[in-house]
Structure 1
Amino acid sequence: MRPHRATRPPVRIVHLGLGGFFRAHQAWYTGAAPDSARWGIAAFTGRSRALADQLTEQDGLYTLVVRGPDRDEMAVQTAVSAAHPGTDLQSWCAYLAEPDVAVVTLTVTEAAYRRHRDGGLDLDAPDVRADVSALRHGAEVTTVPGRLVAGLAARRIAGAGPLAVVSCDNLPGNGEATARVVHDLAASAEPGLAGWIAENVSFVTTMVDRITPRTTPEDVRVVAELTGHEDAVPVVTEPFSEWVLGGDFPAGRPTWEAAGARFADDITPYETRKLLLLNGGHSLLAYAGSARGHDTIAAAVADPVCHGWLDQWWDEAARHVPLPAVELADYRTTLLQRFANPRIRHTLAQIAADGSQKLPIRLLPVLRGERTAGRMPTGGARMLAAWIQHLRGASAPVNDAGAGPYQQRAGSARDVLALLAPDLAGDTDLIHAIDEAGAHLPLRP
């Protein structure tokens, strides 16, 4: 039988992006906080309702499986008080109109922010234009910025007071990025709302880290076997977890620091470290590792060739992380241990998704920094070459809504670079390095 509970924490946090990472990270920190009984979460999926329905059947309870190299630790998580499909805009707005709701958190992936190349909202995108019209006429919105603005509009009308919006996605300066797309949309739809948001809503910047692969049917079976109860939606994660936050919470927050979170005035060094070393390393292995026939991070990093490529990338990337060399060396050692955990089946196909959104953040700062310093980023050139081959169908399947223009240009490294980073398109030495790296891919073990 599934576990049930008589009471649940009152909803004071609303989350968008109900999935494995959220349940292994923000929900875990909230449930582990000493004041967790006062901080329930109403969580919404992106669009589909299947996961929301499954969690609702289980009273919001699910098993978190912390999978170390040698053994599993399992615990039922209690922070999710309610689960809804992302299409339930009425419930979303109703929660945000409640004065007791103090925090909105997001895990929606980089692409969902609908950002233009300049960092603002892509107001020319058809779905964004449709949301501008919907907000003006009281119709239903569909994008993430649209849902945020609709919920904040409901809060303003209700006079429910200030709150904090907390992005937990892999975007540099994710708080500022979220603030900008929200303000751009609000200003386009209702300028008065934009002013209210500026005065009443804080946007908190965060760095989040916990490897959380997709749950498999085998995971579901193992949980049932070892716990004695059925759980349709357990979450598997690694022992390591990190959360660094910077910003104001005008309506309060859980005592996340008691569960291990850290608060810092400037989180830029930590987010840069994670984006370039962990996420950049993941992208390299996703494209180059899958070109060599591997299907998981653990398998790729066990390949001496991939391991060497990873070290080369890290040597280049570490030069652009503003942290002491000793701290970076320790972080790299920890990353290798995490990547090598064979019991965490983190698939390269999962990581390879949405490369057109990820590579500008994970790769381009290193390419630009190295070329400015007069160095050739051989590891970075290899990552880009492997992505180009991925676009040509040579490795993991392409799962990227923004890939079309790049696939049309994938026959030429120069053409891809001209679209990805126009400022580098005239760098003939870099283009030659990308071509050279591509000529040696794929190399099957």
Structure 2
Amino acid sequence: MTRLAHLGLGAFFRAHQAWYTERANALAPGDPAPAEQWRYTAFTGRSPELAAALTAAGNRYTLVERGAEGDESTQVTSIAASFAGDDTDAWTAAFCDPELAVVTVTVTEAGYDAATSPAPGRLLSGLAARRAAGGGPLALVSCDNLAGNGEVLHGAVVRLAEASDLDLARWIERKVTFPSTMVDRITPHSSDPLTVITEPFSEWVIAGDFPAGRPAWDAVGARFVDDVAPFERRKLWLLNAAHSTMTYLGLLRGFETIDQAWGDDEIRATVEQLWNEVRPVLGFEDAETDAALAALRPRFANPRIAHRLEQIARQGREKLAQRQRAIMAARLEAGLPAGDACRATIEAFDEIVKKGIARVD
């Protein structure tokens, strides 16, 4: 059944939501969930090229999980149809389909501002068409790296509706849910539209209701919780804060990628110290934190997924405020010293700015 739609057809969606759906579809009878086939109608953000390439290939593509020791390839068939973002007829038809149950969204963090992005307006137009067609409830699921992304998407869509059609806004409040998610999987750019390169690790944490049903994502690794916020903080303070530490210390030593920085004994020791500083203010049991760190170490060491320091360095002041400075504030509030590893990261950032080694704005 084509009961899913997606906005933001790109590499991350194909490495994450479409891949989870592929695996859920592969469940055999007797497994934790029935082998019900859910497939996507997917739309690009703007460009038609990717949709055209996928359509020509029967909407099949190869997902390559690139581990340190080798590759594992999977043929993904969970996309039933691909369309350019400006195909309004296909967009309207997808939303008017009474079988549609879930719409997922990956439009980047900047895509939720109706003043600068067409995404909220496009979603609203689809919902308006669904309401006019007498369609039933559905879930709109943001899968972007944005804190409280479900609340952000809800606010963007409902505010836009209230400005033009109060009845539509009320219908959305009654019929549409906006689950929040935390997503994690490094997916470098690939020049081949029919091949997606990604790391072996993936994580998907979801909180919220799906009034018209959903694939058995929970049976293939997705985690359903009451509140995503603690998991967002865990990712921000363990993974992202470590990225900042390795980036600024690594750039000062002439490194270019995360695996190179992780391979430096002093930098790796500083990251481990950072994690020790985070642990008492993270809010998780030691076993949960230990499991998260055990997954991070091989990810950082993987030399075949090139995560470039110059890319991570950008928007550094904003990132440090959410990462190292927030950790320091939490420690001080808990009556603990601010933290030497956090301070070392900020000092390295200041040195990068002073020397003009990398773009950090």
TM-score (normalizing by structure 2): 0.87
Post-superposition offset of 1:391: 6.4
In structure 2, distance between residues paired with 1:174 and 1:15? 16
CA RMSD of aligned residues (A): 2.6
Contact kept, 8 Å, 1:110 with 1:358, in 2: the verdict is no
AA partner of residue 260 (structure 2): A
2:201 to 220, 232, 240: 240
Deviations 1:97-123 (A, max 9, x none): 221111011222222223xxxxxxxx7
Q: Residues 334, 199 of structure 1: CA spacing in aligned structure 2 closer, same or farther, 3 A cutoff?
A: same
* Change in CA separation of 1:52 and 1:385 when aligned onto 2, cut-off 3 Å: farther
Q: Does 1:394 pair with 2:348?
A: no
Deviation at 1:396, TM superposition (A): 4.3
Q: CA deviation at 1:292?
A: 3.0
SS in 1 for 2:281: coil
The question of whether the paired residues in 2 share the 8 Å contact of 1:111 and 1:354 is answered with: no
- CA offsets 1:6-28 (integer angstroms, 9 cap, x no match): xxxx4211112222221111111
Distance (whole Å) between structure 2 residues aligned to residue 318 and residue 265 of structure 1? 22
User: Which amino acid in 1 is paired with 2:224?
Assistant: F
Q: Deviations over 1:155-197 (max 9, x none)?
A: 2222211100111122222222221222222222322222111
Aligned to 2:166: 191
Aligned residues of 2:281 and 2:334 also touching (Cα < 8 A): no
Query: Who is 1:295 aligned against?
Result: 256
Note the 1:252-291 alignment, pairs <5 A. 252-291=213-252
CA separation of 1:170 and 1:77: change in aligned 2, threshold 3 A = same
User: Does residue 16 of structure 2 align to residue 17 of structure 1?
Assistant: no
Q: Can you give the 5+ residue segments of structure 1 that lack an aligned partner in the other structure?
A: 1-9, 115-122, 128-141, 221-231, 404-445
Structure-2 separation of matches of 1:85 and 1:386: 44
| Structure-1 residue corresponding to 2:70 | 71
Which stretches in structure 2 are left out of the alignment for 5+ residues?
Answer: 28-33
Question: What's the CA shift for 1:295?
Answer: 2.0
Does the aligned pair in 2 maintain the 1:164–1:249 contact within 8 Å?
Answer: yes
1:334 equivalenced with 2:291 (yes/no): no
8 Å Cα contact 1:286-1:396 kept in structure 2: no
The percentage of aligned residue pairs carrying the same residue is 47
| Contact 2:41–2:80, Cα closer than 8 Å, also in 1 | yes
Structure 2 Cα separation of the partners of residues 386 and 45 of structure 1: 39
Aligned counterparts of 1:108 and 1:331: Cα–Cα separation in 2? 27
Q: Distance in 1 between matches of 2:10 and 2:345?
A: 28
Distance in 1 between the 2:248 and 2:55 partners?
Answer: 37
May I ask how many residue pairs the two structures share in their alignment?
A: 352
Q: Aligned residue for 2:107?
A: 108
Which residue of structure 1 aligns with residue 341 of structure 2? 379
The 5 Å alignment of 1:417-428 reads none
Quote the Cα distance in structure 1 between the aligned partners of 2:186 and 2:345: 21
Label 1:304 to 1:63 Cα distance change in 2 as closer, same or farther (>3 A).
same
Partner letter of residue 308 of structure 2? T
Q: Report SS of the residue matched to 1:64.
A: strand
- Equivalence for 2:143: 168
- How far is 1:353 from its partner? 4.7
Contact 1:29 1:256 in 2 (8 A): yes
Deviations 1:215-237 (A, max 9, x none): 2x5xx5xxxxxxxxxxx431112
Go from structure 1 to structure 2 and tell me whether the alpha carbon gap of 1:149 and 1:387 turns closer, same or farther (over 3 Å shift).
farther
In structure 2, how many angstroms separate the alpha carbons of the residues matched to 1:388 and 1:106? 36
Alignment of 1:154 with 2:145, yes or no, is no
- CA–CA separation in structure 2 for the residues paired with 1:393 and 1:196: 55
The two structures have a TM-score, normalised by structure 1, of 0.72
Instruction: Say whether the 8 Å CA contact 1:36–1:79 is kept in structure 2.
Output: no
Tell me if the contact between 1:171 and 1:361 (Cα under 8 Å) persists in the aligned partners: no
SS at match of 1:285: helix
3-state secondary structure, aligned to 1:38: coil
Matched AA of 1:57: A
Amino acid of the structure 2 residue aligned with 1:106: V
CA distance in 1, matches of 2:346, 2:164: 38
| Post-superposition offset of 1:289 | 2.5
Q: Distance in 2 between matches of 1:238 and 1:356?
A: 27
Q: Which residue of 2 aligns with 1:139?
A: none
* Secondary structure of the corresponding residue to residue 319 of structure 1: helix
Query: Distance in 2 between the 1:294 and 1:40 partners?
Result: 42
1:180 alignment partner, one of 152, 155, 180: 155
Distance 2:120 2:54 in 1: 25
Q: Given the superposition, is the C-alpha separation of residues 380 and 169 from structure 1 closer, same or farther in structure 2, using an over 3 Å criterion?
A: farther
CA contact (8 A) 2:60 2:194 kept: no
Letter in 1 for 2:181: T
1:309 corresponds to 2:309: no
